[in-house]
Structure 1
Amino acid sequence: MPNPGTIEGTHHLTFCVGGAQEDYDFHVRTLGLKSVKKTVLFDGEIPIYHLYYANRVGDASTILTAFPYRQAGWMGKRGTNQAKSINLAVPAQAIGYWRDRLTNAGVDVREVERFGTERLEFAHPCGIPYQMIGETEEDDREPYGGGDVPSERAVRGAWGTTTSVREPEPMDHFLREAFNAEHIASEGAHHQYRLTGSGNGQILELVEEPNLPQGTWHFGEGTIHHHAFDVGTSENQLRVKDYIVGLGYTDVSDVKDRGYFFSVYLRTPGGALFELAYSTPQGFTIDESVDELGTHMCIPPHWENRRSEIDQLEPIDTIETVKS
C-alpha cells in the first residue's frame, strides 16, 4: 500500500491585505496577537512586507502571516474556487468577551451557530472574512498573554479555513484521498472535514457558492493566499508530496526554502492554494532571540543588497520597540 504520510494540522495561514499599519493594528491591537517577525516577501521583484503574528514564540498553528499590497497597488477579487475565511479558535466561554471587544473596536460582528459551535463572523479591514470559533475541546496551545487580552480569553491559533467552491465533489475527493481527512458533517451548503494528524488547526470547511464569480489566485489585497499545513519533517513532506502527485494531482511545486520553514505548494481542485510546511529547528529564532522576536526588520539574504528599497515601505507604529 502507498504511504500517504501524515498531515498533522495547520502550520500557518497567509493572506494579502491592504495597509501594513491597519493590518498590524488589527492583529496586534484588536486581536491581541504578538508580532513575531517583520521581514519581506521572498517571491517577486517588488519589496513587500511579510508580517507574522502568533503566540509568544511563534508555534506552528498559531501563525498568521500577511502581505500588505496596498502600497504596491495590487488588488485581488474575492470569489468562489478560492479560500474564503480565516477561522480562529478561542475558548467557548470567551465568545461574549470577543463579541464585546470587537464591537467596541468598531468591528461589525455577526453571531452564528454552525456545526454545534458558537461563532463570530467579522472581517479584516481589507474585507477578508474571519470567524472566531468557540472551542469546547481542550486546546494545549500557549496563548499570548503579553497584550491587553487576558490569556484565558486569548486566541489560541488557527481553527482552519473555509473554502468557497462551485461544487463540493472534486474538493471532497481531494480532502479524503490526498489529505486523508474525514468528513464530519454537512449543514446545507456547508461541509466540514477533520485532518487525522495530532496537531492543531485540523478543521477544513467548504461552502457551496455556485453563483459567485471566480476569485483571483494571484497576490492582491483582500484575498487569502494559502493555507499551510504542518508535515513535521523533510522526509514526511516528500512522502506526502509524492503520494499526492501519485494520485494525479501534479500541480505541485518543488521544495522552497522560506528561511524559517521549508514549503511545497499545491493548487487544490477547489481552487484554494495549500502548502506543506515544516519549521527549521531554530524557527523564528534563527535571526532573533525569543525575547527579541518582532523587534527587527529581518532581511532575507537575497534582499540584503536592496535594503534602501525596503526602507521605502510604509512605516509601522508598533507597540514593541523596533531596532534598526
Structure 2
Amino acid sequence: MNQGIAGIHHVTAIASDPQRNVDFYTRVLGLRLVKKTINFDAPDVYHFYFGDETGSPGTILTFFPFKGATKGKRGLGELTFTAFSIPRGSIPFWRKRLTDLGIPVSDTLQRFGEELIRFTDPDGIGIELVTVSADTRTGWSGASVPAEYAVRGIAGVTLNLRELAPTAALLTQVLNYRFEQAFSEKRSRYVVDGNPGEFVDLVLQDPPERSLQGAGSVHHIAFRTGSEEQQMQLQRMLRKVGIPVTDVKDRSYFKSIYFREPGGVLFEIATDAPGFATDESLETMGTQLMLPDWAESQREVIQRKLPTIRVNYQEPWIN
C-alpha cells in the first residue's frame, strides 16, 4: 500500500474581514499567526496561516479573507467542521471562555469516545474542540490561553457528502487511510495510524442541501506527505484511477497538487518541507508581509492594496 499520506497538513477557508479573522483566531482560540502572505492566485488578498509555535504540519488553519465576501451556505460536497485537539478536562475552561466572549457554544457532545463542543467563527466556519488524551503536541503558549488548555493542533475534519462509498474508496485505496469505525449509519471515521491530526469523518447528507461557497466556507483540505517523491507517486496513482489532478504548484512553504474527490470536496496533497521558517525566524514569524520571489518586485503596489493588520495576542477580543 502507498505510504505517502501521514494525515492532515492544513485546512484552508474563506473569510470576509481580515482584521476580525486575525483577532478571532489569535485572541479567542489562541493560535499563532505563523505566516502573513498573499493569495498566490489573487495577490490583492491576504493569505493567513494560523497554527502552533512553529507552524507544524497538522496544526494549520489558513484563510483567504476577501473583504465584503458574500456569506456561503453549508451543505453537500463540503468540509463542514474542522476539529481541533484540546487536552482532556479542558472543556469547562473553553465553554466559559467562549460564553464570556459572547460566542454561542453547543452542549458537550460525545462521539467515538471523545468529548467535544461545537461553535462557529464570525463568518460561520464550523469549529469543534475535541478532547484527545493521546495528543503530545504542545500548541502555542504565547497567547492569552494558558498552556494547559491550549489548542494542540488539528484533530480531524468532517466531510458532508451525498454518497459515502466513492470518497471512502479514494481514502482507502489511494490515500493510505483505513476505516476505523462507524458512529452511526450516517457517520464513519477513517484514519491512517489512529494518531491525532488524522481523522476524516464522512457524514451522509447533513445538511442535505448543496453547499454554496463564500465567506464561512472551507475552500480545501490538504493532506501531508513527507517528500516530493511520494507526492509524485500519489499524483501518478490518482491519474491511474482516472481522477484529474494538477501539476505540482510551488506554494513557497510546501509543494502542492490539487484534485476533487468524488463528492466534490477539493483535496490538496502538500509536502511537509520546506516549512514556514524558510523566510522568517521563529521569533518573528507572522509579523511581516512575506511575498513569494515572483511578487517581490510588486511589493509596494501589493502593500498599498492590502489593509493594515494589527496582531495583539493578549488584548481582549470584542466581536
TM-score (norm 1): 0.90
Q: CA deviation at 1:52?
A: 0.9
Distance 1:254 1:194 in 2: 26
- Secondary structure at the aligned position of 1:21 is classed as helix
Is 1:274–2:303 an aligned residue pair? no
**1:68-217 alignment to 2 at 5 Å?**
68-71=65-68, 73=69, 75-110=71-106, 111-136=108-133, 138-186=134-182, 187-196=184-193, 200-209=196-205, 212-216=208-212
Is 1:42–2:40 an aligned residue pair? yes
Which residue of structure 1 lines up, in the alignment, with residue 4 of structure 2? Answer: 6
Per the alignment, do residues 211 and 12 of structure 1 end up closer, same or farther by CA in structure 2, a change over 3 Å counting?
Answer: closer
Which residue of structure 1 lines up, in the alignment, with residue 19 of structure 2? Answer: 21
**1:233-248 alignment to 2 at 5 Å?**
233-248=227-242
Q: Which amino acid aligns with 1:227?
A: I
Which residue of structure 2 lines up, in the alignment, with residue 61 of structure 1? Answer: 58
Is 1:312–2:309 an aligned residue pair? no
Q: Is the 8 A contact 1:180 1:196 kept in 2?
A: no
Residues 158-182 of structure 1, C-alpha deviations (whole Å, 9 max, x = no match) = 1111010112121122222122312
Gaps (5+ residues) in structure 1? none
Percentage identity across aligned positions? 36
Distance 1:70 1:78 in 2: 20
Q: Which amino acid aligns with 2:5?
A: I
Distance 2:95 2:62 in 1: 23
Distance 1:160 1:15 in 2: 15
Residues 22-75 of structure 1, C-alpha deviations (whole Å, 9 max, x = no match) = 11111100000111111100114x51100111111111111111110134x355
Q: Which amino acid aligns with 1:201?
A: G
Q: Is the 8 A contact 1:69 1:75 kept in 2?
A: no
- Secondary structure at the aligned position of 1:292 is classed as coil
Q: Is the 8 A contact 2:85 2:196 kept in 1?
A: no
Number of aligned residue pairs: give it: 310
Q: Which amino acid aligns with 1:256?
A: K
Distance 2:185 2:166 in 1: 17
Q: CA deviation at 1:11?
A: 1.0
Q: CA deviation at 1:310?
A: 3.3
TM-score (norm 2): 0.91
1:301 aligns with one of 287, 290, 293: 293
Per the alignment, do residues 108 and 182 of structure 1 end up closer, same or farther by CA in structure 2, a change over 3 Å counting?
Answer: same
